[in-house]
Structure 1
Amino acid sequence: MGDGDGWVTAAGGVRRWGRHGAAGLLLVNDGSGDDGAEGPAGSRVLLQLRAGWTHLGGTWGLPGGAVDSHEDADAGALREAHEETGLDPAAVEVLGRRVTADLGVWRYTVVLGRRRRGAPPQAPHAATAESDDVRWVALDDVGALPLHPGLVGTWAGLRAWVERSTSAPPA
């Protein structure tokens, strides 16, 4: 366990996981099909089905979790995605980041990424007991899933961000 693991209580008694905040990786396919995500670049995103025993289990969200004190959001999201899906952080090109929740004492950052050009194909999978499933989901199908409440409220804006950021092929 890292030093970021633990609950934070914000104003009004709102509890969030991650003593130094949390971050998730919004990984989009690069269109190559090498990673099992068929279709045009940016048309699918990698989602994780949270295990039933976890907080808000049974919901789909981004691979991610608590950020440790020595990490920025990018490093935390990539580390957590590696732990949960087996993805190699060195194979991910970070395209940007966006804070989607800021409670003063806690914030959640979404890190947008895609497979780095020339990186070997990856086969994401449920790598820990924290995940019941990990899969590529078409942008049009994300909203039909039982989403984590934090993703429900931000998905429309995140989808638009994905579409804008991935309309060009990798450099």
Structure 2
Amino acid sequence: MDTAASSLPEYLRRPSGPRNPGDAWVEGERGKFWGRFGSAGLLVQDPAKGILLQHRATWSDHGGTWGLPGGALHQGEDAITGALREAHEEAAVPPENVRVLFTSVFDVGYWSYTTVAVHVVESFEPVINDPESIELKWVPANAVEDWNLHPAFATAWLGLRRRLLQHH
């Protein structure tokens, strides 16, 4: 490990290996995806602040892009529980401060990603809780597409934004 990385506190270093059985790649005819049991992310909308974006660690898949806090589901975990857990782990999103609006599923047959859209009912400030985030930022919904987004999130964003507008 290089000196700069070894001087970081343990919680800011890249994880050294899988932490649970879901932390693995799956491959098939439609590509390679993270999360043996699927993955989920939390689309957090605060009416006063905008959309919570996560600047992804450079060592992660499509590192350096912006996306949603989220990650691999645990075995037997439903997508809503997993997205809330991951967002709490990565950005200190308090699950009691949000209300689920809808879910959107991208499914390739052997793997799926669920976006769980939530509305903030009690304001909070996100906090980087693990090494998977470089930065967390509230971004106005009409400016999200101007950011360097994770390619899959960029593809899904306009449809997700339309659905968010229907819930106002």
TM-score band, normalised by shorter chain:
0.7 to 0.9
Task: Tell me the equivalent position of 1:2.
Answer: 20
Query: Quick one: percent identity of the two aligned structures?
Result: 43
Q: What letter corresponds to residue 24 of structure 1 in structure 2?
A: G
Shift of 1:2: 2.7
Higher helix proportion, which one?
2
The corresponding residue for 2:85 is 79
Could you list the runs of 4 or more consecutive aligned residues of structure 1 that deviate by over 2 angstroms after TM superposition? none
Deviations 1:81-104 (A, max 9, x none): 0011011222221111110x2111
What displacement does 1:158 show? 0.7
* Deviation, structure 1 residue 162: 1.1
1:162 to 161, 164, 167: 164
Structure 1 counterpart of 2:111, which letter? W
Residue 58 (structure 1) aligned to one of 49, 59, 64: 64
CA RMSD in angstroms comes to 1.3
* Among 119, 122, 125, the residue aligned to 1:123: 125
> Given the two structures, how large is their TM-score scaled by the length of structure 2?
0.85
Give the drift of 1:45: 0.7
> Is 1:143–2:137 an aligned residue pair?
no
The answer for the alignment partner of 2:10 in structure 1 is: none
Task: Give unpaired runs (5+ residues) of structure 1.
Answer: 32-36, 38-43
Quick one: distance in 1 between partners of 2:125 and 2:142? 22
Scaled by the length of structure 1, the TM-score of the pair is 0.83
1:29 and 2:46 aligned: yes
